[in-house]
Amino acid sequence: MATSSGLVPIETISVGDRVLTSDGRSETVVDESWRVVELEMPSPAGVREPIQIRLLRPPSWLADNGVARGRTVWLAFEEISLAGDARVTRIGPAPRIADVPGRVVLSTLNQTANDVVRLRFGGEEEVVEATSSHRFYSVDRSDWVRADNLEAGEYVRTASGTVAISRVDVLPDAQRVFNLEVEAEHEYFVSELRVLGHNACGEGAAGGAKRGPKTDPTAPHNATIRAEADALEAGGNTIVAGGGRAKERLIPTPGGHKAGRRPDILYETPDGTLRGRNVGRTRADGTPVTRETQALDDLNGPGGVPTDFIPYDR
């Protein structure tokens, strides 16, 4: 875990500590009126030990949720697909917030999980283990992607640039894992490579919604999308969504691998037909990688729009 004083083990991080984020800022709304709330939540089926949760929250959150020792509070951490009733075991004062660079940690979670993914990077010496739903920022997709959906060869964001994933393994046994919620940016850097990960964003957190860091429009994936959009417009088509010009549009794909897909480019042909175009990675034989194939299947299926595929890595 990257802090202003260097890398520290994630299990040593407490609420009120600061960790480095991609925006490099340190503003905080936390003050002495906030409280530390400790809770226990039953673990998912198959795991005996309860999840240990510590929250740093404003007095308004405690009042709105009727927080008191011994009472039960509903908690939801969307980013790691965790939600349920948690019992309050302790309420204490806010810690002193150090005047050092970094955003303030608002939550810590300590649990045993049976869905841990091991990611290897570069020459495979560097390893990060995370729950399957933990997200990392994929440069290839310009989006936060679940650990279990990442693929070998895919590039993810780091503090200094990017790094390629060399291998993805699902671990067979339950593992002890730790997660954080960070104020404002809801992200942090992990491992010697400082890989950018997204935190367990919980209810009542201070700061904005999930978003990606500023991406490079000249990166191969984004540059190819823009070039394709330019070519489509030159051919008399109209860009409706995406294409580096506007937000991508969600297309319902009922019965598909996912309930909806966002084509990289959604455009209208001169005769008024709506079509899509996706830009992505390919295998050594030139065929799209699995996630691209599934997206094409969904978009070209019932309820979708006719969508073709353009590789950016050839």
Residues comprising the chain, all counted = 314
pLDDT beyond 60 at 207:
no
pLDDT value, residue 68? 95
Cα(184)–Cα(102) distance, integer angstroms: 11
Mean pLDDT value across residues 40-64? 88
Q: Judge contact between 105 and 18, C-beta under 8 A.
A: yes
Instruction: Give residue-wise pLDDT tens across range 61-72.
Output: 999 889 999 999
Boundaries of every domain in the chain: 2-113+176-198, 116-171, 220-311
Taking alpha carbons only, the member of 242, 189, 181 closest to residue 208 is: 181
Confidence of residue 146 (pLDDT cuts 50, 70, 90): confident
Q: Which residues contact 230 (CB under 8 A, 6 or more apart)?
A: none
Please give the torsion angle defined by the CA atoms of residues 13, 17, 21 and 23, in that order, rounded to the nearest 10 degrees: 180
pLDDT value, residue 200? 64
pLDDT beyond 80 at 124:
no
Mean pLDDT value across residues 87-103? 96
Instruction: Give residue-wise pLDDT tens across range 253-290.
Output: 888 877 778 899 999 999 999 999 999 888 888 898 88
Question: Phi and psi of 20, rounded to 5°?
Answer: -80, 145
Please tell me whether the overall predicted TM-score, pTM, comes out greater than 0.85 for this model.
Answer: no
pLDDT value, residue 184? 82
Other CB atoms within 10 A of residue 26 CB: 19
pLDDT value, residue 306? 97
Mean pLDDT of the chain: 86
pLDDT beyond 90 at 142:
no
Q: Which residue has the higher pLDDT, 137 or 45?
A: 137
Q: What is the 3-state secondary structure (H, E, C) of 214-264?
A: CCCCCCHHHHHHHHHHHHHHHCCCEEEEECCCCCCCCEECCCCCCCEECCC
Q: Which residue has the higher pLDDT, 81 or 89?
A: 89
CATH of 220-311 among 3.30.70, 3.40.50, 2.40.30, 3.40.1350 = 3.40.1350
